[in-house]
Every structure is written in structure tokens, then in C-alpha cells.
């Protein structure tokens, strides 16, 4: 299934070369792992915090019948190299490099952190993306006086402290928060646990930097500029990206529709795969 070099211009483990002056040796760009399968318009899948693109495997047979699906491991996750500094802007730049050979604008599905990156990509490069599917995505993951639809700053700070002390155990506990309240919580948690370290351990420095990026990112004032069609998918019982945040996002985006998945928590594509798959394919069907 892996043929990312042909699809994205990556050239093996070291990726594309960066042009330098004659007096300095060329420095390889960090490798961004992309797996590509299927035929049709391109669809890029971006995963969430601490995981990797392998989590989307159950979706691929159906999606690949209609699309050329590119499954990305974000930098420092899965098979992708870490980058320094790890910021949302740096991730967007890495994605731009990886998909520079794509002639047509892309459809992008982002889950959680991946949704924040997808929104940021659309803002930074308006012509690159033609459709967005935003799953369990919030414009701001930290609460403030004007934004109650998120976790308290103290909760996120405590999570960051625990991540520094025992990141493996903290990640495993984090998975339970993602399925809390879900109708299919036990099976979804088993799927998440199975995938957590299936591509090796994520880079601990990346985890800390990604968490800081989530804490610092606030897209509420910017998303109204994203005029492309968007599907906002919310788990009715999601405690990490509450459905109220998704409803706000769908209202703020000029061309968005909202799908609330009854009984789902933070990973509706795992807990309710049939409803999720059908909605996504319907959203992309006119391509």
C-alpha cells in the first residue's frame, strides 16, 4: 500500500533535498511518512495527538474505491521524523512540501489535532484545499471566560506535567478520555490501544510541543475566512471537543454542515464507522 514517494514527491527516508549554497552541503528535510492507496481525487487524512495514520485503516477500503487516499503520520508520530521546532505552522509547511506535486486542490480530513492542522492549512494556503472534513475538532481546546466548550487550563497543565513524568502511562490514560461515554466505548478503546504503539513510540519531545501548540492555538477569529465546503463531525458525548464547540465551528465556517453522531465520543470513525463512513462519502460524492 505504501507508495508515498510517487504520490507526494518524498524520496525515501530522507525526503526531498533542500537547495543550499554551493559552499554548504545539502541538508535533507525531515522524512514525512505518507501511505497512499486508491484512485480518484486526492483525500488527505490527518490523525490526532499521540497516535498515527494507521488508526484510519478501517476506513481505507471504502474511501479508496472513490479517492486516492493519502494517510499521513504527523512529524514525530508513527514513521515520520520529528521536526524542530514542532509548531502548527511548521506542520503546515511540511504538508505543503509533501503535496507540492498535487495539481488539483486536496480534500482533507482531520481528526482532533489533525483538524486544527487542517484548518490552519486552509487558512495559510487558501487554494490548496477544496473540502474539509473536521472530526472532533475545536477552534480552541482550552476554556476561557468567553469559551466554556473546552477543558480547563488547569486540567491541560496537569496533563502536561503527567506527560513529562510518565508519558507512556499518560498516553494510555488519555485514550480512556477519548471514549468516555461512548456507546461502543470498550471496543473503541481496544482499537485505540492496539494502535497506540503499533508504529513505535511517538517522540516525547513532540508530544510536549504538540500539547503546547494545542494550548496556544485559537482559531475563533480566523475560521470565517475559510469559505470552502466543510463537514464538521461531532460525537454527541465527546468531552474533549464537546459538541457545542463543533456547533460553533459549523456556524462560523461560511459553507459548513454539522453532523452530530448520537452515542459517539471523541473517535466517531471508530465507534460508529458505518454512519461516519456514509456521511463522509456523501460529503465528498460530488467530486
Q: Do 231 and 257 contact (CB within 8 A), yes or no?
A: yes
The position carrying cell 486540567 is 155
Question: Which residues participate in catalysis according to the annotation?
Answer: 112, 238, 266
Q: What residues contact residue 135 under an 8 Å CB cut-off, 6+ apart?
A: 109, 110, 111, 112, 114, 115, 233, 268, 269, 276
| C-alpha distances in Å from residue 129, one per residue of 13, 43, 133, 167, 190 | 26, 10, 11, 34, 33
DSSP string, 236-283: TT-SSS-HHHHHHHHHHSTTEEEEEETT--S-HHHHSHHHHHHHHHHH
Asked if 91 contacts 31 with a C-beta cutoff of 8 angstroms, the reply is no
Decide: 132 and 157 in contact? Cβ < 8 Å: no
The x, y and z cell numbers of residue 200, run together, are 513505535
In degrees, to the nearest 5, what angle opens at C-alpha 126 toward C-alphas 121 and 132? 60
Amino acid at each position: 500500500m505504501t507508495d508515498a514517494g510517487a504520490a507526494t514527491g518524498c524520496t525515501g527516508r530522507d525526503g526531498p533535498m533542500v537547495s543550499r549554497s554551493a559552499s554548504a552541503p545539502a541538508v535533507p528535510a525531515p522524512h514525512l511518512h505518507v501511505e497512499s492507496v486508491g484512485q480518484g481525487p486526492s483525500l488527505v487524512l490527518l490523525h490526532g495527538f499521540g497516535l498515527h495514520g494507521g488508526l484510519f485503516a478501517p476506513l481505507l477500503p471504502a474511501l479508496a474505491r472513490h479517492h486516492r487516499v493519502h494517510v499521513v503520520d504527523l512529524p514525530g508520530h508513527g514513521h515520520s521524523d520529528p521536526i524542530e521546532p514542532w509548531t502548527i505552522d511548521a506542520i503546515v509547511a511540511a504538508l505543503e512540501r509533501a503535496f507540492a506535486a498535487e495539481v488539483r486542490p486536496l480534500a482533507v480530513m482531520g481528526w482532533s489535532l489533525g483538524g486544527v492542522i487542517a484548518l490552519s492549512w486552509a487558512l495559510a494556503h487558501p487554494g490548496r484545499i477544496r473540502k474539509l472534513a473536521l472530526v472532533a475538532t475545536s477552534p480552541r481546546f482550552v476554556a476561557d471566560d468567553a469559551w466554556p466548550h473546552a477543558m480547563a487550563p488547569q486540567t491541560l497543565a496537569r496533563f502536561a506535567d503527567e506527560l513529562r513524568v510518565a508519558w507512556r502511562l499518560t498516553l494510555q490514560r488519555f485514550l480512556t478520555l477519548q471514549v468516555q461515554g461512548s456507546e461502543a466505548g470498550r471496543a473503541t478503546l481496544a482499537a485505540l490501544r492496539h494502535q497506540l504503539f503499533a508504529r513505535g513510540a511517538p517522540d516525547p519531545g513532540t508530544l510536549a510541543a504538540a500539547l503546547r501548540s494545542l494550548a496556544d492555538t485559537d482559531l475563533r477569529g480566523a475560521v470565517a475566512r475559510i469559505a470552502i465546503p466543510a463537514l464538521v463531525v461531532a460525537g454527541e458525548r465527546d468531552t474533549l471537543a464537546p459538541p457545542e464547540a463543533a456547533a460553533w465551528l459549523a456556524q462560523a465556517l461560511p459553507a459548513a454542515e454539522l453532523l452530530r453522531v448520537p452515542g459517539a465520543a471523541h473517535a466517531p470513525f471508530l465507534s460508529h464507522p458505518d454512519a461516519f463512513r456514509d456521511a463522509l462519502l456523501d460529503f465528498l460524492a460530488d467530486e
